[in-house]
Amino acid sequence: MTGRGSLSLEVAFVKVDPGVGVPEYAHTGDAGCDLTSCIDVVLEPGSRALVPTGIAISIPPGYAGFVQPRSGLAVRHGISIVNTPGLIDSRYRGEIKVVLINLDPGETFHVRRGDKICQLVFQKVEQADFVQVDSLDDTERGSGGFGSTDT
């Protein structure tokens, strides 16, 4: 870890499109850095598009990147990400692309080259060693799933 102190993770990147900006945090302490579109695209109501960001990154082993929607785009325009959060594994070296969707029922949304389209959050992850057993330990929740805690 280097850069802005003990909470900083060094992530190498290349510009697949030399004209795009670099990933950056809007404010010190933000969890997500902004990524931008490197194309213009029109999202009709209910439509989706694969939008390239023009960058590729090298996430260190033991970490993953998670692409998340931008709250301002969601609340003002109904723009989200289809597979949110989008997972970027540490061994992936291709261009980051985002599947944007327009959930607004009536308004078309125009994405312009250079627009902030998503946030990228890095998290420490671990791989599990799976062990098959005859039964699982009992818990208060048990096998209660979707909606099981609603009254």
Q: What average pLDDT does range 102-118 have in this prediction? A: 97
Contact between 100 and 79 under an 8 Å Cβ cutoff? The reply is yes
Residue 3: the pLDDT is: 47
Band of the pLDDT at 39, cuts 50, 70, 90?
Answer: very high
Question: Does a structural domain hold residue 6?
Answer: no
Q: What average pLDDT does range 86-109 have in this prediction? A: 97
User: C-alpha 148: how far from its chain's center?
Assistant: 29
Range list of β-strands (E), the chain: 12-15, 33-36, 41-43, 48-58, 63-68, 79-81, 86-88, 95-102, 109-111, 116-124
CATH code of the domain containing 38: 2.70.40.10
Question: Does a structural domain hold residue 147?
Answer: no
Question: Does a structural domain hold residue 145?
Answer: no
User: How many Å apart are CA 8 and CA 3, to the nearest integer?
Assistant: 6
Domain that holds residue 65: 12-124
**Structurally, how many domains does the chain consist of?**
1
pTM, two decimal places: 0.85
Residue 6: the pLDDT is: 53
